[in-house]
Structure 1
Amino acid sequence: MTNLMAKYMLDDPSMNKIDNEAMEYEKSVLRKYVKDSEEALVASLPANKNDQQNRFFFALGKSFVIGNFDSFARRRFSKTGELTPEQQITWDSLKNHGFLEYRADLVNCENEVAGYLADSFDDFMNTLSTAEKEKDKDMAKTWEMYKKNELGLTKIEFGQRLFQVIFSHNSKF
C-alpha cells in the first residue's frame, strides 16, 4: 500500500509546483522508497534458510523498509506548523493519497498485535517451571502485578511494553 501511495504521490501534479533542490529532495526520498520497497517485495529467503525463525526475521526486515516511509511521513505530519513549503506540498499529497487512513489501519493492527501478545503471555508464563520463574523474578512479578491491575496498564499498553522488551532483548539465535 505504501509503495503505491508513494507512486501516486510522485505522479501527483502538486509535487511539481515548486522546482527547487528542496522539492527534488522530497521526490528523491519517495523514489528511493519505491525502489527499496519493490526490491523488498520480491526478495525471498534461500530454501535452506526458510524456517520459522528466519521467516519471522525476514518479514521483520521487510517491515523496516515500510518503516522508512512511515518515518518520512511522520516527520511531515508531526510538525504541521513548521513545514517548509516543499514539506507542506508533500504532506498535502500524503493526505490526498490515503496516508491518514493507512495510519489508522496501522495503529489498529499494532493494537491487535499488542493485545495478542498480552493474551498469549499468560500461556507462556504457565509453561515456565518454578526454577525458570525464580530465575526471572522481575518478569514473573511484573506479570502478576499486571494480572492484578496494579500496573495501571490496559491490555494494549501491556502488550506494547512486551513488544518493546522482546525486541530490545539480545537474541540467542
Structure 2
Amino acid sequence: MFAVLELGGPNLYDYYVNQEIYSSENKYEIVANIARAAAIALNELHQRAVIHLDIKAENFVIALQENQIDLKVDPFSFKLIDFNTSVLGTDHVKANTASITKIIKAPEIRKKSKNYVNQKVDVWAFGIMIYGLLYSKLNEFNELNVNVMSDKSRYSRLDSELNYYRSNPSNTNLDIIINVFTIKKF
C-alpha cells in the first residue's frame, strides 16, 4: 500500500524567515497580503465546521501551483496543515487543549486541559500570528513556547506586551490591519 500526498510549498514561518520579510522595505504590505490569504484559509476551515486549535505560522503552507518551482507568490494562497488537535463543530465543543501550542492559547482555555471551545480560539491564535509577523516576534514566540517557564509568567509576558501595543498602536500598523480586513465592494 502506498500513500500519495500533495507536496506543498514551505510553511509561512520558514518563508517569512528565509525571504527576510521582517527586514523588507515593503514588510507591511507583504504582511497584509499574508494576513488576507491566511484569513481566507482559516475562514474556509471554519465554514466546514472545523476548529483547528493550533493556528500558527508553521501550520500554514504556501499553496504552489502545479509544477511551480520558484517561490514567487503573488497573490499568496495558503493551505492549513496539522489537524491532530482539531475538533468538529462551531461552538461549545469539548476539546483536549493540553497539547495546543502554549503561547497561542486564548485566555479562556489557558487554565484547564479539557475545555469547551469555539472558533474564537482560532481567531485569537490568528491574531497572535499576525501580531508576530507585524512586529517580527515569531522567533520570540517559539522560544517562549519551549522555554522552561511557568505558564503564568509566559502568559503575563505576552499579555502585558499585547496591552502595551493595544494602548500605543502605531498608526501605520493599525491602518494596515484595518485595510486587510475591509470588505471592498465592486
| Normalised-by-shorter TM-score class | under 0.3
Q: TM-score, normalised by structure 1?
A: 0.27
What TM-score do you get using the length of structure 2 for normalisation?
Answer: 0.26
More strand by share: 2
Q: Which has the higher helix share?
A: 1
Of structures 1 and 2, the larger Rg is shown by 1
